[in-house]
Amino acid sequence: MKKKKWLKISLGIIAILLIINTVASVYFYNLAIKRNVKDFLVGNDDLEVTAEAMDAFLEGDWRNWVDQQDFEEMELTSFDGLRLKGYFLEAEKPTNKTVVLAHGYLGSGSDMGIYGEYYYKALGYNVFFADSRGHGESEGDYIGFGWHDRLDFIGWIDKLIEKLGSDTEIVMHGVSMGAATALNTSGEQLPDNVKAIVADSPYTSVYDMFSYQMKRMYHLPAIPILPSTSIVTKMRAGYSLTEASSLDQVKKAEVPILYIHGEADTFVPTKMAKELYENTKSNAEIMTIKGAGHGEAFVIEREKYVEKLRSFLDRYMD
């Protein structure tokens, strides 16, 4: 009798733990991946930015520049039927060089205007950016964290080549989730037109990033919640947290990659960029910026940033 009693108690405890884990997994999916308002990021110390960066990102002259440009609106139907929005700006003088910019988590394409203005004014490039799925004016009820987005951006690249001609040369430049998007494309069969990738503040994989953030924000271990959250994500969004791996993708990369990361980044640790760099199959370079937090490098050390960027582009953009 005692054995049966303890068996029932044990099974009951296991059932309760499974229910708690399932509820937690759905909660974290809704919290981070489902398209909705993300209040949990408000007050996050890891996302605090310097006053200098805040002024540049929120009130910089680049915002006026974006508003004054006559961007051509473009549309793309994704592999799974979503209507995605993109925005193209032709250079002032004819050129075969185009930058494809990819924004970060909860952002929109126009947020990359701070980089687009530089490419347009200083380098004379055509500029393209898009609202990633689940962001801005693009459809989608979940955030792809750069995984399904990789296929979306390959679709955009094909569309740009068709529009601009077969001699078009393209550099992809992404920040944070946008950097992951760019790196994830690197492991796919890209057109020869894609000459280079710039990855600013990237993470190795969605699983790694979530594991890191769960410990910092909630003081929780990754197991067992994260593996089950991955299952929920697979069921609802069509990808798992482990397969969404920039690290696996760069091991197959053929296109040259420049990594940039702030040494004071506590939201996505700098070691992730270093691990990506060390495992990149193609020609790769890395630059870290002292004192720069997440995605701040362009503002904190602009001169150093653009000097490295220009030398990299001069090497690979004919």
pLDDT in tens, the chain (318 residues): 566 666 666 556 655 656 666 777 888 899 889 998 766 555 556 555 565 666 677 667 899 999 999 999 999 999 999 999 999 999 999 999 999 999 999 999 999 999 999 999 999 999 999 999 999 999 999 999 999 999 999 999 999 999 999 999 999 999 999 999 999 999 999 999 999 999 999 999 999 999 999 898 888 888 888 999 999 999 999 999 999 999 999 999 999 999 999 999 999 999 999 999 999 999 999 999 999 999 999 999 999 999 999 999 999 997
Distance CA 180, CA 184 (A): 6
Chain-centroid distance, C-alpha 117: 20
pLDDT of residue 172: 98
Contact 291, 264 (CB under 8 A): yes
pLDDT of residue 222: 83
pLDDT of residue 43: 55
Instruction: Name the residue with tokens 């006559």.
Output: 70
Q: Return the number of other C-beta atoms located less than 10 Å from residue 189's C-beta.
A: 8
The CATH T-level fold of domain 33-205+244-316 is Rossmann fold (3.40.50)
Sheet with 257-262, side-by-side order of all strands: 72-77, 83-89, 126-130, 97-102, 169-175, 194-200, 257-262, 284-289
Domain ranges of the chain: 33-205+244-316
pLDDT of residue 241: 96
Q: What is the 3-state secondary structure (H, E, C) of 51-72?
A: HHHHHHHHHCHHHHHHHHCCCE
- Integer CA distances (angstroms), 237 to 19, 80, 89, 133, in order: 21, 11, 32, 11
Distance CA 107, CA 186 (A): 22
φ, ψ at 131 (rounded to 5°)? -85, 115
Question: In degrees to the nearest 10, what's the CA dihedral of 307, 248, 145, 97?
Answer: 40
- Integer CA distances (angstroms), 33 to 29, 237, 293, in order: 5, 8, 23
pLDDT of residue 40: 57
Distance CA 212, CA 238 (A): 23
Helix ranges (DSSP H) in the chain:
2-32, 51-59, 61-68, 113-121, 148-164, 177-186, 206-213, 225-237, 246-250, 270-278, 297-300, 302-316
In this structure, what token pair is assigned to residue 253? 């990369």
Closest CA to 31 of 23, 21, 39: 39
pLDDT of residue 223: 86
pLDDT of residue 205: 98
